[in-house]
Structure 1
Amino acid sequence: MLKFVHTLSLVLLMVVSLMAPPAQASTCSLVNGSTLQPMSPVVASPVIQGSITVGRDIPIGTILYKSTYWGSAAIPAYKCDVGGTGYLSYEINTAPSYGLSTWVAPNGAKVYLTHIAGIGVYASNETPGNTGGGIPWTGSGFSLAGGGVTGFMDPTGNATMTSFVLNVVKISNTVGTGTLTSADFPTVKYYFNSTNRFPYLQSNAVAGSVVVVAGTCTTPDVYVDMGSHAVSELTGIRTGTAWVNFSAQLTNCPAFFGYNQYRVYPFAGTSTASSLASNAINFTIQAVAGWSAGADLGVLLLQPDGVHPTATGIGIQLAMGSNGANVINQNAYPLGSVSVTATPQNYSINMSARYIQTNSTTAAGQANGAATITLIYL
């Protein structure tokens, strides 16, 4: 029994003697990749400005505005006393108070509601030529050089890693109006993570504001007097009466500013504003009673009123422009477009109509027709 205890004690002593000393923690610090001197985190000051118009029919998920902060003259790098593993992460520093949206960004970013209905915002880690990922974002681990050797945050040794984008996005079909300010946007930090962690980019609250305009035009009904005609005026299939010119009015239209972006280049001391896309009003035309045979002719079937006899062998032909300049092809989509401007004003869709013979035999009667113009706001 005494011999067994002695053997056990000897084994335990051998195990203790083989244990490795505890690993030394890697402590890292932020340095300027050019001067190799200690540096403070890059402080980003994103800017927003201008006005955007959100068309009613712009698809959900469309980016309406981008505020981009690109780079810094100081190239961020790190020094660590011993080797180890590190990783980079973009994190939300402060979030707007309106909560998270249920709309899901394709890059996985957290999308925040704003105080304007139907408008959301999110941050992404885009760099020039790279759409990047959504924030929050965590990169894969990489090996750290020890012994005070300098390593770059970006393997290419440039400043684009100190970049991010704030995106304004349409998140529902119903969109309100108002002014976006700093209270509607998150702020971000970009961290180096190892045994210790430190930010090497952090953003201030955005400066400036963006006015959001949404709305549609007023579209009064249009009544076109086609006049009275004798059946004898029509002498065969596809012959017609004189064209009657008319206009569909679009009144009280909002200003159409398009969707915009603003970029800040602090290392170059410049900033730029440009357009992502222009607004447009497209339109289609639907025949209430249906179209006559021959899609390229744009002929409305007559619409009986249930009281008076309806003419037969006749339809109403529609054309864009005056005097039948461009006969409507109802297979075309979109049928037409209205050029819009950045000032509130009225617009006109100029059209023309005439009676046209559609059958070899005709009969007199009431010859009314109706069509609906559908406006598509983009």
Structure 2
Amino acid sequence: MKPRKIIFIISLFGAVANAAENSCKYALTGGKQDIITIDIGQTMSIPRDTPNGTVLYESTPYQHGTTNKYNCSSAHSWGVKNNLGTDTTTSDTFPIGGTGISWQYILNGKARFGYGGFIESAGTWHFENYTTALRLIKTGDIKSGVTIAAGDVGYIKADTLFLTTIRTSQPITITAASCETPDVKVDMGEHDLDVFSKSGSYSRSINFDIKLNNCPSGIKKVTYSLTPNTTAPAWNASMGIIKLHANSTAKGIALQIIDSNEQPVELNKTYTFSNFSSTGGNFNIPLAARYFRTLPTGNFGEHDTGMSAGTANSDISFVMSYL
């Protein structure tokens, strides 16, 4: 009798489990899920320093019909499953591997949460006159050169029933767009010590450019900042003045960075390069450098104690951002 009881109990549990797992079914004969195929293109170029949370792409809304109308005999879990990474019940944003990009399922203009984040009651449900769109969002550092495979991005489930699936038609290669920026070496030439007769006096300016080469299209904004290095710390950040290297033999002077209008470039401040074009190409940010007397004025002009000629080397870093 025990074997029969065991078999009976297992059969009973199996029947209950099957009923619970299959509480939702298509309501119409021939009912099936909607497959939404989207062509994003073969490449997606994203400016390297685009802020997290920026919407990178949103598809044209797809208009649902009646084919995926469904009935559910009991309350059930409902929500989005991510086919390209993880999903949780508390988030409406789903990572695409380690690309730095996530996607959202936009149903009727609203991002929907992961499966299980919503409990739908028993009854008849439909997507008729609803719209679905795919939204891509930057959520991390862009991994340039990676490819998102074509195929299913994710889907909405009601219990075990697949209702809609978003699918991409072709692989997408991601690039983090930026310009090539070679190091800059500025030959400051020779300067007579007598131009530094008092505190605040300065030498003639030596022009140089920060070059932006081979900039791709799609970058809308370029910013830059000048950051002092430990080898040449700031003497006066607001005036764009940095100290000379410790092994320089010239004394009483420092180096000042100025713009094309001979105005000081404040250190650690972000400037927008206004002559950039989103069509891409090659560009120059015009700047200049000059020596600046930092020693207080004395009674002997350029011969004041603490002033001396010699080598006068320095360096500074420039930081570019592409938006």
| TM-score when normalising by structure 2 | 0.69
Is 1:68 the counterpart of 2:59 in the alignment? yes
Residues 297 and 106 of structure 1: CA distance in aligned 2, closer, same or farther (over 3 Å): farther
Indicate conservation of the 8 Å contact 1:30/1:40, yes or no.
no
Is 1:237 the counterpart of 2:199 in the alignment? yes
**Residue in 1 aligned with 2:34?**
42
Amino acid of the structure 2 residue aligned with 1:44: I
Indicate conservation of the 8 Å contact 2:59/2:133, yes or no.
yes
CA deviation after TM superposition for structure 1 residue 350, in Å: 0.9
In structure 1, distance between residues paired with 2:64 and 2:49: 42
Alignment equivalent of 2:244, drawn from 302, 323, 331: 302
Amino acid of the structure 2 residue aligned with 1:30: A
Residues 198 and 221 of structure 1: CA distance in aligned 2, closer, same or farther (over 3 Å): closer
**Residue in 1 aligned with 2:321?**
376
**Residue in 2 aligned with 1:180?**
148
Please tell me the root mean square deviation across aligned C-alpha atoms, in Å.
4.1
Matches within 5 A, 1:314-333: 314-320=253-259, 322-324=260-262, 326-332=263-269
**Residue in 1 aligned with 2:44?**
52
In structure 1, distance between residues paired with 2:228 and 2:88: 35
Q: Secondary structure at the match of 2:318?
A: strand
Residues 166 and 209 of structure 1: CA distance in aligned 2, closer, same or farther (over 3 Å): farther
Amino acid of the structure 2 residue aligned with 1:182: A
Matches within 5 A, 1:57-96: 57-58=49-50, 65-68=56-59, 70-72=61-63, 74=65, 85-87=74-76, 89-92=78-81, 95=83
Is 1:255 the counterpart of 2:220 in the alignment? no
CA deviation after TM superposition for structure 1 residue 297, in Å: 1.1
CA deviation after TM superposition for structure 1 residue 139, in Å: 1.9
1:10-61 Cα distance to aligned partner (Å, 9 max, x none): xxxxxxxxxxxxxxx9886536xxxxx99654332222126433455556x5
Indicate conservation of the 8 Å contact 1:285/1:335, yes or no.
no
**Residue in 1 aligned with 2:95?**
111
Alignment equivalent of 1:136, drawn from 115, 121, 139: 115
In structure 2, distance between residues paired with 1:346 and 1:179: 27
**Residue in 2 aligned with 1:353?**
289
Alignment equivalent of 2:251, drawn from 292, 311, 321: 311
In structure 2, distance between residues paired with 1:152 and 1:223: 69
Aligned residues: 291
CA deviation after TM superposition for structure 1 residue 370, in Å: 1.8
Indicate conservation of the 8 Å contact 1:110/1:136, yes or no.
no
In structure 2, distance between residues paired with 1:130 and 1:77: 19
In structure 1, distance between residues paired with 2:293 and 2:120: 76
Structure number with larger C-alpha Rg: 1
In structure 2, distance between residues paired with 1:240 and 1:177: 48
Matches within 5 A, 1:193-272: 193=159, 198-199=161-162, 201-203=163-165, 205-214=167-176, 216-251=178-213, 253-257=214-218
Q: Secondary structure at the match of 1:238?
A: coil
Indicate conservation of the 8 Å contact 2:104/2:135, yes or no.
yes
CA deviation after TM superposition for structure 1 residue 203, in Å: 2.5
Residues 52 and 159 of structure 1: CA distance in aligned 2, closer, same or farther (over 3 Å): same
Residues 211 and 236 of structure 1: CA distance in aligned 2, closer, same or farther (over 3 Å): same
Amino acid of the structure 1 residue aligned with 2:121: F
Amino acid of the structure 2 residue aligned with 1:140: I
1:177-210 Cα distance to aligned partner (Å, 9 max, x none): 1543415x5242443x5xxx644x3336312443
**Residue in 1 aligned with 2:106?**
126
In structure 1, distance between residues paired with 2:284 and 2:157: 51
Residues 219 and 70 of structure 1: CA distance in aligned 2, closer, same or farther (over 3 Å): closer
Indicate conservation of the 8 Å contact 1:255/1:342, yes or no.
yes
In structure 1, distance between residues paired with 2:25 and 2:173: 44
5+ long unaligned stretches in structure 1 = 1-24, 32-36, 145-150, 259-277
5+ long unaligned stretches in structure 2 = 1-21, 299-303
Residues 208 and 72 of structure 1: CA distance in aligned 2, closer, same or farther (over 3 Å): same
In structure 1, distance between residues paired with 2:207 and 2:170: 48
Q: Secondary structure at the match of 1:222?
A: coil
Alignment equivalent of 2:132, drawn from 163, 179, 190: 163
1:306-346 Cα distance to aligned partner (Å, 9 max, x none): 6xx3221x2221112x251x3111252x2444735344x33
**Residue in 1 aligned with 2:309?**
365
1:81-117 Cα distance to aligned partner (Å, 9 max, x none): xx95444623548x35xxx47x99982655342xxxx
**Residue in 1 aligned with 2:18?**
none
In structure 1, distance between residues paired with 2:315 and 2:89: 43
